[in-house]
Structure 1
Amino acid sequence: MRHAIAVSTAAFLVAFVGSINPSIAQRKYDQGADDAQIKVGNTMPYSGPQSPFASLGRTEAAYFKMINGKGGVNGRKINFISYDDAYSPPKTVEQTRRLVEGDEVLLLFGALGTPQNAAVQKYLNAKGVPQLFVASGATRFGNYKAFPWTMGWPSTYQSEGRIFAKYILDNHPDPKIGVLLQNDDSGQDRLKGLRDGLGPVAERAIAAAVRHEVGEPTIDSQIVTLKAAGADIVVSFTTPKATSQAIKKMAELGWKPTHLVSATSNAVSSVLRPAGLENAQGLISITSMKDPEDPSLRDDSAVKEWTAFMDKYYPDGDKNDSNTIRGYLFAQTLVKVLEQCGDDLTRENVMRQAANLHGVVLGMLTDGVTIDTGPADYFPIEQVRLMRFTGERWQTFGPVLRGEVGSPE
């Protein structure tokens, strides 16, 4: 009898525990996540020469504040921990280690810069810590074979170079191209894309390619060199500060080549306005995002939603700064991944869900652009549109374009 009672009691306890909350047994966590929160780490140049990019991190923080105010993701608040790395790779290493080993974050997200992220890529992959939606278009951040814990977000720099090459060949039958590039992997990636896109005419078409260090106070001498080389087209594959200086210097020289500028350096507020809007007329660039200043989008529901977000959660933010839209989209993408993770907040599942985004439409992406990833596709954005600066804003033109570059072996 006692044995029968014991068996019956045990069976009851098992049934009772299971009936209280069946999901408890299914919840899985790694360091940085629990029932209450998800710790997300980030580095950003809040100081130093690239501080204009700081609005990217501030927008992400504002978006997560909004999400937390609505109850978080699957009932968990996002604890966004963002440190200043001053755009210095050694500082990025120091702050990333602090995030992983001190703050014990679940993942790294949206950190800015090619050399900065490259400096911590091997460390994070060795640790098995997701390095998600890197704010750089370098192809190395889509190399799922060598770095399975790393994924970029923007269209790649090589894609940008290819698309610029196509535009040049379609509109300039005998181009003489001068290239201004920052002396690091991001500049080199873009130059490779341009050369690949130009194909057999590359050597003849590129009159000069001049490099500069990110910390150089001025790039005036490089612009003088490009003018002396006889370039009638200039492609600026460089930072916001250097791009702004290049636009201004060309105007001072009375030199008016066709000028194409990188997507990461086309913000009206931090690049074009300091150079003088009158000097920026006719610039060509690319985008994957909507422009809230576009009159045709005045009644667009997504633009209205973004504007309301900015007004409430980031009122000091500059709506003309494309980094605020970029940060908004980055954060939306991470929230989508965390939502898909459900109650399995292990690092392995985070990467599994990041590589499981199919046809994701985000309101502030330009029409026709979607986010798509897979186990063998770590490039979320692969479509863009060309745009031209006219008056006080950018105007898109032409169809959605692709400049796909496969994952490097």
Structure 2
Amino acid sequence: MRPLILFGAFVGALALSLPGALAGGAATPGVTPTSILLGGTAPLTGPETAYAPVARGAQAYFGYVNAHGGVFKRKITYKVLDDAYDPSKTIQATRELVQQDNVFAIFNSIGTEHVLAVRPYLNALGVPQLFVGSGSELLAKERSKYRWTMGYLPSFVGEGAVYGRYIAKHMRGTTIGVLAENSEYGNELVKGLKSGLKGKARIVATRTYEVTDADVKTQVDSLKASGAKTFMIFALPK
């Protein structure tokens, strides 16, 4: 089996492992003898459309899998709804995918606050929440509570710690200015950075921004004025 087919095989195996997927039980939502229906949310509009290609790339990948025979003779359909990077819209869209479209699973929805907002709902219903687009430490810490949720990205705290250890080893004694998104994403990266530094370099200024801010000029000017020699950016693309 080619490597690119392996993930599709995983999804198919999971779908077929649930009660009702095979003969003798109630039908598994989103699974038929010829198809598997997945759903997801992504910022197709709004302040973070830079992440829209994540969903389009997944759709292209599933198209490749289908062109090579699908998974156990089933073709995968991936329906993505726009949440405009707004957690309240993520909740609405996810409910629509589950209750109206009857998807088998929610796949690779994007955004920490967004995937955490729908996690209790999906787990209460036993709907798989696969490869969520977040590296929040809560995904690991609360894995036993939310057994239907599977992480995907590396830990944000762990990523920040890697940066901190590098600075501690190669730039010992430097002063650091940090620009971070005001969110779980930004907060956890800063937390990891501090852990990795182990006191061998000093953060002299931290400035945050909102994802809806038009620019970060004020924050950057403030960080420049702090005299920091090293600039860390924990921000999402625009």
Please, what TM-score do these two structures have when normalized by structure 2? 0.86
Q: C-alpha separation between the residues in 2 aligned to 1:134 and 1:210? A: 28
Residue 184 of structure 1 pairs with residue 213 of structure 2: no
Query: What one-letter code is carried by the residue in structure 2 that aligns with 1:237?
Result: F
Question: What is the identity, as a one-letter code, of the residue corresponding to 1:78?
Answer: I
Alpha carbons of structure 1 residues 221 and 79: separation in structure 2 relative to 1, 3 Å:
same
How well do the aligned residues superpose, as a CA RMSD in angstroms? 1.8
**In the alignment, residue 227 of structure 2 is paired with which amino acid?**
G
Deviations 1:183-228 (A, max 9, x none): 11111111111111122456xx010111111001011011011111
- 1:235 corresponds in structure 2 to 232
CA distance in 2, matches of 1:179, 1:221: 13
Which secondary structure state, in structure 2, belongs to the residue aligned with residue 209 of structure 1? strand
Give, as a single letter, the amino acid of the residue that structure 2 aligns with 1:72.
G
Match of 1:207?
204
Instruction: Measure the CA separation in 1 of the matches of 2:170 and 2:221.
Output: 25
Please say if residues 134 and 141 of structure 1, whose CA atoms lie closer than 8 Å, have aligned partners that are also in contact. Answer: no
**In structure 2, what is the Cα distance between the partners aligned to 1:36 and 1:234?**
53
Larger radius of gyration: 1
Residues paired across the two proteins, number? 217
Q: Which amino acid aligns with 1:193?
A: G
Preserved CA contact (<8 Å) 2:35 2:75: yes
Which runs of structure 2 are paired with 1:10-409 in the superposition (5 Å)?
A: 25=23, 30-142=28-140, 143-201=142-200, 205-241=202-238
How much has 1:146 moved relative to structure 2?
A: 2.4
- Contact preservation (8 Å) 2:173, 2:200: no
Contact 1:110 1:134 in 2 (8 A): yes
Deviations 1:277-327 (Å, cap 9, x if unpaired)?
A: xxxxxxxxxxxxxxxxxxxxxxxxxxxxxxxxxxxxxxxxxxxxxxxxxxx
- The letter for the 1-side match of 2:71 is V
Offset from partner CA, 1:49-91 (integer Å, 9 cap, x none): 1101111111110111111122210111111111111111111
User: Per chain length, whose mean CA-contact separation is higher, i.e. which structure has more relative contact order (CA < 8 Å, sep 6+)?
Assistant: 1
Q: What is the CA-CA distance between 1:137 and the residue it aligns to?
A: 1.2
d(CA) in 2 for partners of 1:175 and 1:133?
A: 37
Instruction: Report Cα offsets for 1:113-167 as digits up to 9, x if no partner.
Output: 1111111111111121111101111122233122211121111111110100011
- Aligned counterparts of 1:69 and 1:39: Cα–Cα separation in 2: 16
2-side partners of 1:199 and 1:75: how far apart?
53
Q: In the aligned structure 1, how far is the partner of 2:166 from the partner of 2:85?
A: 32
Kindly provide the CA deviation profile for residues 331-383 of structure 1, in whole angstroms up to 9, marking residues without a partner as x: xxxxxxxxxxxxxxxxxxxxxxxxxxxxxxxxxxxxxxxxxxxxxxxxxxxxx
| Contact kept? 1:44, 1:87, Cα under 8 Å | yes
* Secondary structure of 1:151's aligned partner: coil
Identity of aligned residues (%): 39
How far, CA to CA, are the matches of 2:127 and 2:163 in structure 1?
A: 35
What TM-score, normalized to structure 1? 0.51
**For residues 168-190 of structure 1, what are the alpha-carbon distances to aligned partners after superposition, in whole Å with 9 as ceiling and x for unaligned?**
11111211111111111111111
